[in-house]
Each structure stands twice: as C-alpha cells, then as structure tokens.
Structure 1
Amino acid sequence: MKSIQALAEDIHPGTFVHIIAIDEDPSQDQMATFKGNVSDQVSKVCEELAKHPILSTAPAIDAIGISQGGQFLRGYVERCNWPQVRSLVTFGSQHNGIIDFRSCGATDWLCKGAMALMRFGTWSKLVQSSLVPAQYYRNPATEADYNKYLENSNFLADINNEREFKNEKYKANLSKLTNFVMWMFEDDDLVIPKESSWFEEVNGTEVIPLRARELYHEDWLGLRELDRNGGLRFRSAPGKHLENLYELLNETVTNYCGPWKRTFESDMEDSWDRLELI
C-alpha cells in the first residue's frame, strides 16, 4: 500500500493519499480481510472518512480497491459516499460474487477448517456475520440456491440491490461517479468466476455480459445511467489475479485520478454507441 501511495504522489505531486485500515494493528488489520462482519467494516470506514480532517473537506476523492476491497469500496459509495467519490477503480474484484472458495495449502489446517465451515454452513448467521468471503458468495445454479442467497446474504445481495426492495440511495450514489473502472484479469484463477470483476453472470458455460442482465436494464445500481454518460469502463489485463498490478496502477492513477478540475474522455466512441444504450 505504501508503494501505491508513493506512486500517486509521484504522478500527481501534492496528492493526499489515505490508506484505509480496519485496525491500527497490522496483524489484526490483515485478519480483518478474512474474519469480520463486512457491513460493520464498511460502516466503520464511512464514519472514519466522514470525520477525516482533510478528506471530509474535499470536493471529491478518487478510490482504488484491490480484489475484495473493490466491492467493499463500492459498498461505501452506495451506502455513504461522504466524502463523495469521483473515480472508483477496482482490480480483480468480485462484484457479482464467487461460486467457490479458494483452495488451501496442504498443511494449512486453519484455512481448511474455515473453508469447510464456509462450504457447509454458508448461509448460517455465524458464517455470514464473521467470515468475509462467505459474505460475497453467490451461486445461482438453481432457483433454490439463488433464493437462499437472497434470504441470507449479509452483504452482496444488499449492495447489488438484488432483493425485491430496491434501495434508490444505492443507485443515486453510484450513478454520481464520473468513472467506474473495473479491471478483470484474463487468467484469474482466484476469483471464480473471473467475469465477476465485470458484473458478468456465468451460468454453466454461458457468460452473460452486464449489459444483457436485468440488473443493468432495470438499472438497479445506476450502472446503465453511468454507462450512458461514458463513465462505465471495462478493462482487462493478461495474467493471473493482480499480476503486474504496479504497471496497471501507474496507468490507472495517470488516467483516472488527480486534480479536482481535470477532465476525462468518455468511453463512448461516438453517438451510435450512446443510441445502443437507450
């Protein structure tokens, strides 16, 4: 994280960079990436940024989320968004959830125990309130599986606005973004499926693009509106999960972060692109 801070300051001199931490103790902060209630963690970040002496006075901020941090920052934008985010950039994030949990080392018994608990007790209140990956697990293989997700998901079903009640605040806040940049890694074998990084739905061997999904057409999250404005940006990179991240960060910070009054080119090539989205 310190290298990202140095990179931003080098590309845009004078940039103030704040690194989000759930706990001041580095070991506990690392533990919080796996153990904890994600909604509580997002609320803590909301409170921290809202009272930050510098960030709270800024006209807007740019936010970069790496892996699961991407959907957590999106949760911040939807639920709080003060200070308001201008550019949200996510790398290898699980916006549409995961259908499987990561594998563990042969002798990593702690990991194996936690994975077993998540696999066999995914929708229990204990798991949904304490094990982070379970809170963005989503496998709609059958209608019954999807209904269990809607009924029990502690985090993802809510911030994806998938339940019958649609939170208009989420849509309003996310559509205020100037840029929402989503990086997917082409050979990602940690995020399953990798297409989740682009909000795509994978049903067996069929991949349903975001723009073909009900979530987009009914605009549950404001992504369609953001797309019409040229701010929804799909990016892909060769390699596995977070491979060559520093080079991608260099490009990203250069193109989507920086001074408040800078302008951005739309991802829409011409008026025909816009007409296709109407």
Structure 2
Amino acid sequence: MQLLSLPAVLSFLAFTTALPTDTSSKPLPLLVWHGLGDRYDANGLHTVGKLANKVHPGTYVYYIRLDEDGSSDRSASFFGNVTEQVAQVCEDIKQDPKLEKDADGVIRADALGFSQGGQFLRGLVERCDGLSVRTLMTFGSQHNGIAEFQVCGSYDFVCKGAVALVKGNAWTDYVQNKVVPAQYYRTLNETTGTASDEYLEHSNFLADINNERELKNVSYAAKISKLENFVMYLFDEDKTVIPKESGWFAEVNATTGNVTLLRDRPIYKEDWIGLKKLDKKGGLVFKTTPGGHMDLKEKVLAETFGEYFGPPGKSTVQQVLGAVENVFIEWDQEKLLDEPKGSL
C-alpha cells in the first residue's frame, strides 16, 4: 500500500473545510480489518484511516490486529483459527480505553472490512457481546465463501505454504483449525447446487456465521438485523475472489454458471442471519466499483465514508455527498489499495 499523492492530500485539506459540521456529537469510532496478506500497520491501510478522519474529523480508527508485530499479524492472516481470532479481537477492543462504552457497557462503532476482513468483521458483529455496530461496510469480501484458492505471488512463501496445506486436505480438522482461507472455503453438491455435506460438517467458521447448519443460532440474526446499514461492494473485474458474487451472498453453480441472487436463496427467505429483516428496513445495500480485486479509488471511499460513517447526528447525506463531489471533481485516479494486489 502507498500513501496518498500530494494532490490527494491537498484535496483532503480542501475537503475538511468544505464539509458541513455537526458539533452535537463526535463521530463513531471505526473498526478496520485488513485482508489476506496485509498487515495492520501498512501505510496504505493507515491512509484509509486518515481519509476517514478527514471526512469526519475526530474519528478514532482502530486497526484490528492479531499481533502487535506487523509481520506476525500478516502471518495470522494465513495461519490461525478464525473462531479464536474473532474471539481475541472481541476481547481486545473491549480493553481499548479509546473505544468508549455507553451506560450499558456497550461499544458503539462503525466497521470497515477489506476482502476476508469483511466476513471476519461480520462474524465479530454476530458473536461479540458488548459491541454494537451501526454500519458494516465490506469491499470484495467472501460472504458466501470461495470456490477456489488464490494464486500466490512467486516469492510469497507464506501464501504458498497455506495453499499447499489445503490441497486435498481442506476438510481435515488440522487444516480447518490452522489455515485461514480454508475456513471460508465452500463447496457445493453438484446435484443439488446447495452446500456440500463436507462443508456443512467440517467448516470451522463460515458455515457457522452463515447459520447454514440445521441448528440455527438465533442471536446471529438478531444482531445483523440491528445494523443500520450493511454496505457490500463488489469489484466489477474481480478475478481473485471466485466467485466474485460471494460478496453479495450470491450462490454460483460452477458447473452451469447459474447465479442465484441473495433474495432468491433460503439464507434470505428464511432469514437465517437477519438479512431479510435488515433489507425490509432499507439497510441492505449492494454496490459495485470498477476494477479488479482491491483496485480501490479514494473517491469511492470518501463518498461512502461521507454517507455511512461519522457522528450519529451528522449532517444530511445530500450535504455530505455534495461536499465530497466538489472536492473530487478533478481526481487523479491514483489507486489507494494497491499492495498487495489481488489479496483476499
């Protein structure tokens, strides 16, 4: 990842003065979870936090990490038990004194997830008592899992090691407890087109947070339905997430290529995780953005930050978006999240 260019920084300064202000309350804090192969202290990720703070001054950004050492945090994006990782993050955020609790001891925040960080944040929303998320925003995430594992870079030996362990062993207890991408790997029954028995029986993470097993956790649906907004972005030309429609909870039959959209699936119709109830109140948002996986423009981030983040009593959406548009009329098209390319 890279820092913003000088023109972009100057745009931020103009943007700060252009935005309408609301002094009645400060912005909600923002939880950010990075993707596979990234690290919490990467410059590009912190540039995202700076942008959130420019759009809504005073935003406290908490960069989710599994280790204070950045290199170890990156390794934990490949190796570890995701169920245990989510539980650790839940406890860590409760210990941060800057994440203030209300009278009931609850932390109120917004949440931003890049790639696999998106479904991990959703798991956090569902499982973490004492956390109340207003807006959950995900970019290129794998909410309905992946059907294939990504191709690693030539010298990314950590990635190569993870993929090597998965091949032919995805449903073993060892892999499901150790290899992070395997825990949102999802296979289908070729006859029925629904989740395979192996996935339902052995998946350590995704099958649970999607409530796909016969026994449902009703608290998951209750918590997701309480979101104000769940904003899901797809990248139009995503070749890394297979299938890319997973970011919208769509089911894709790899044999026929048929796509079953979320609203036509049982997970929605029977409201397994609260998406239908959230949709009925207008909180389920499907968006696309041009480019490949994590080929993300600052303008897209600024617009969505203006609309969905900030103080509970912020200025109207129209005012905020108008200010954003004025700042970014002549945008330099520099990509923000361009390292590492194509990571989950």
TM-score by length of 1: 0.90
For structure 1, the 5+ residue unaligned runs are 266-278
Cα drift, residue 50 of structure 1: 2.1
Look up the match of 2:326. none
Work out which of the residue numbers 37, 44, 47 in structure 1 matches 2:88. Answer: 44
- Per-residue Cα deviation, 1:180-215 (whole angstroms, up to 9, x for no partner): 000001110110000000000001310000000010
Work out which of the residue numbers 265, 268, 277 in structure 2 matches 1:213. Answer: 265
CA distance in 2, matches of 1:49, 1:236: 30
Mapping 1:128-207, distance limit 5 Å: 128-142=176-190, 146-203=196-253, 204-207=256-259
Corresponding position: 1:18 with 2:68: no
Q: Which of 29-38 and 100-109 deviates more?
A: 100-109
For structure 2, the 5+ residue unaligned runs are 1-44, 318-344
Work out which of the residue numbers 279, 282, 303 in structure 2 matches 1:251. Answer: 303
- Per-residue Cα deviation, 1:82-124 (whole angstroms, up to 9, x for no partner): 2310000000000000000011345656544432321210001
Closer/same/farther in 2, CA of residues 24 and 214 from structure 1, 3 Å limit: same
Aligned length: 265
- Per-residue Cα deviation, 1:32-55 (whole angstroms, up to 9, x for no partner): 111111011100111112232232
CA distance in 2, matches of 1:108, 1:66: 20
Look up the match of 1:8. 52
Report the 3-state secondary structure (helix = DSSP H, G, I; strand = E; otherwise coil) of the residue aligned with 1:57: coil
From the CA coordinates, give the structure whose radius of gyration is larger.
2
Work out which of the residue numbers 229, 253, 262 in structure 1 matches 2:314. Answer: 262
Cα drift, residue 251 of structure 1: 1.5
CA distance in 1, matches of 2:109, 2:206: 24
Cα drift, residue 2 of structure 1: 1.1
Report the structure, 1 or 2, having the larger helix content.
1
Higher relative contact order (CA 8 A, sep 6+): 2
Q: Is the 8 A contact 1:215 1:221 kept in 2?
A: yes
TM-score by length of 2: 0.73
Cα drift, residue 133 of structure 1: 0.3
Look up the match of 2:290. 238
Cα drift, residue 79 of structure 1: 0.6
Q: Is the 8 A contact 1:87 1:177 kept in 2?
A: yes
Closer/same/farther in 2, CA of residues 225 and 38 from structure 1, 3 Å limit: same
CA distance in 2, matches of 1:245, 1:168: 37
Look up the match of 1:63. 111
Q: Is the 8 A contact 2:78 2:159 kept in 1?
A: no
Report the 3-state secondary structure (helix = DSSP H, G, I; strand = E; otherwise coil) of the residue aligned with 1:71: helix
In angstroms, what is the RMSD of aligned CA positions? 1.8
Q: Is the 8 A contact 1:67 1:91 kept in 2?
A: yes
Corresponding position: 1:229 with 2:281: yes
Look up the match of 1:86. 134
Q: Is the 8 A contact 2:145 2:246 kept in 1?
A: yes
| Percent identical | 52
Q: Is the 8 A contact 1:256 1:264 kept in 2?
A: no
Corresponding position: 1:126 with 2:174: yes
